[in-house]
Amino acid sequence: MAAFSDTLSPELSAWVAEQPLFFVATAPLQGRLNLSPKGMDTFRVLAPDRVAWTDLTGSGNETAAHLQDDPRITVMFCSFGPEPRILRLYGTARVVGWEDADETALLAAMPRPPGARQVMVMAVDSVQTSCGYAVPRMTLVEERTTLVRWAEKKGEDGLERYRHDKNRRSIDGRDVDVP
């Protein structure tokens, strides 16, 4: 059965740290909803009511675009291992750029792999766990290295050009303020 709490317990925080995959959902006031898979050990629990993840360069920048319009966000983890579990974090989020002098402590705690674009910081309002009995058991074969290799090949200048060309407008035509 589903259970709610206001914060992440130490046990849930430890479980989150073990998960290789999570999903982020955002919704602008109008337009398409966005649901994005995330991985590569980019997620961190900063406090029982605060989490963050390194956002990697991709083909779009929908999460950042949506957060400008409406900061509501849901993050979901689900277990594909022996113990079934689904964990949802509900709250609001904001985008932090790597050059933000007011966030040096936060940024120092975040991984910065090649292709790191920005950091998403979420204030958690509610935590929900549910059974996950219908989620299949699967085995992680390996992390993909494609994005890291692609980013290393582009280099910092190439990544900046790519972000300028590909990440400044959402799929719904919203301008994105890239930090």
- What does pLDDT average to over the chain? 95
Q: Which of 95, 77, 74, 87 is nearest to 26 (CA)?
A: 74
Torsion sign, CA atoms 21, 19, 2, 63: negative
For the record, the structure tokens of 122 come out as 């979420």
Q: Which residue has the higher pLDDT, 114 or 178?
A: 114
What phi and psi, each to the nearest 5 degrees, are found at residue 36? Answer: -120, 135
Per residue in 143-167, pLDDT (tens digit) is: 999 999 999 999 999 999 999 999 9
For the record, the structure tokens of 170 come out as 């959402």
Q: How many Cβ atoms from other residues are within 10 Å of residue 52's Cβ? A: 22
What's the confidence (pLDDT) of residue 177?
Answer: 83
CATH number of 3-166: 2.30.110.10
What's the confidence (pLDDT) of residue 179?
Answer: 67
pTM of the model: 0.95
